[in-house]
Chains A and B, each alone.
Chain A
Amino acid sequence: MSGKDTWLQYCEAIHCRTWEVVPKNSVNKVSILKTQILKLLTQAHDEGKLKTKLHEIHDLLKLEQSTQHGSDVSEILGGQRNFKRLREIPHFERADGCWFDFAILIDQKPKPAEILGFNFEIRFPTDLPVQFLRFDLNLPGHNNQERGMRFHLHPGSDDLMVHSPPMSPLEILHLFLYGLPLPDKLRFQRNDVPSR
């Protein structure tokens, strides 16, 4: 077996191990998770962490349902799709200027409901060396190679990804709102790099 095959096996094992311990009690029902998200965003607004106004939260936090053809799949939408990372596209914004959006896909047929996939992306002010972080949970599928990286993190590049820590949607949203503080001073400035 090649080293690459072993890595793919590790990926599968890491994904399974991660997914097993992700807290899932927040998705008993889509309406409950959406209300928990609304409460969290409202609370962050009231505490001055979120600059987005209450009526803007209503406009950004939406629900889409696909109940035809025997399915009962829903999506909680937080902000618009913003592939080009344009500030003018509606999004949630922290008081310190970091901004984010998210989307969560949920299958309501199983009880409790099952998360099928999500994106959570936070973008930082332009003077930080890392421009964004994105947590993705890819859809379940039959591609083993992709399944090993189903739950992953993009550390500032769409082309780089590493396994994600085991976090639920609510935990990632808490991280975006209350974690990831902007540093007063960058620990390591580009100008500090010693010349070789």
Chain B
Amino acid sequence: MLRSLSSTSTDTLLQKIGAQPDGNIWTVLVVETSDIDEVISELSETISIFAECKIKIISAQSGASELIEQIVQSSENYLLLWTFEAWNCEDWHHLDACRSSLSKPRGGMLVLSSTSAEMMLNCAPNFCSWVGSRIYALAKDSELLTDPEREIRLSALREWSGFSDTDVIASAESHQLPLTPEYGEWLILLGRGDLIER
């Protein structure tokens, strides 16, 4: 089942959230376990820009009852729920039975590892049916420049200036590099942002 999930970049996910009509709409995002902390940190800062409302991060590590209580008590319009890794099938059953408690003006998102997502799919069928197609696997870092894209930019800079990468690093090391932003970009593309003068 997880293999058939549609993959989404962070940018696409944010646009989907921004395009949602006002209403209690929930999304599930499946993330590599090792990336969950970083993803939560990033989404906590960026979702509010697209959802245009206050958001709250709630940990599920104390179990389903505690999570539902916190959801009910929260006043924010959008919730970001995480730390489901310790949940067993009983916790998911509980959430499944109490899904009507997940009621917020702009909805929310569950960020899960693939293991937790498998358990959710098996143990919370009604919740999954309610979420519908809004279960995505995150294609992390797809906004980062790829190696071919980096090479295209470097080629453009070399052709424009007539210099080589070695020339540019040597100029920067001797504080002779012109101060136009193109040369700063060149250093960044070479992984030598440390040579940009401050």
Contacts and interface: CB of A to CB of B under 8 A. Distances in A.
A18 interface: no
Interface centre among B156, B159, B175 (most CB of A within 10 A): B156
Contacts of A61: 11, 143
Contact of B196 (A39, A46, A116): A116
Given A42-B15, A64-B150, A139-B179, A81 B156 contact: yes
Interface string A149-189: 01000000000000000000000000000000000000000
Interface in B131-183: 142-145, 149-150, 152-153, 156-157, 159-160, 175, 179-183
Contacts of B159: 83
B188 A75 contact: yes
A31 B12 CA distance: 15
Contacts of B58: none
A137 B15 contact: no
A191 B55 CA distance: 59
Nearest to B143: A63
A105 interface: yes
A5 B179 CA distance: 21
A77 B196 CA distance: 18
Interface string A111-125: 000001111000000
A36 B49 contact: yes
Nearest to B153: A81
Interface in A9-63: 29, 31-32, 34-36, 38-39, 42, 46, 54, 57-58, 61-63
Interface in A115-149: 116-119, 136-143, 146
A78 to B, nearest CB: 12
A147 to B, nearest CB: 8
B196 A105 contact: yes
Nearest to A28: B45
22 contacts: A32-B46, A35-B45, A35-B50, A58-B11, A63-B143, A63-B145, A64-B145, A69-B193, A69-B195, A70-B194, A75-B184, A81-B153, A81-B182, A81-B185, A103-B181, A105-B196, A117-B181, A117-B184, A136-B180, A138-B179, A139-B180, A141-B179
A66 B188 contact: yes
A39 to B, nearest CB: 5
A38 B153 contact: no
Indicate the size class of the contact surface on chain B: 35 or more
A42 B192 contact: no
Interface of B: 9, 11-12, 14-15, 18-19, 42, 45-46, 49-50, 142-145, 149-150, 152-153, 156-157, 159-160, 175, 179-185, 187-198
B15 A71 contact: no
Contact of A39 (B18, B45, B190): B18
Given A81-B157, A83-B160, A139 B181 contact: yes
A195 interface: no
A143 B197 CA distance: 11
Contact of B143 (A58, A83, A119, A136): A58
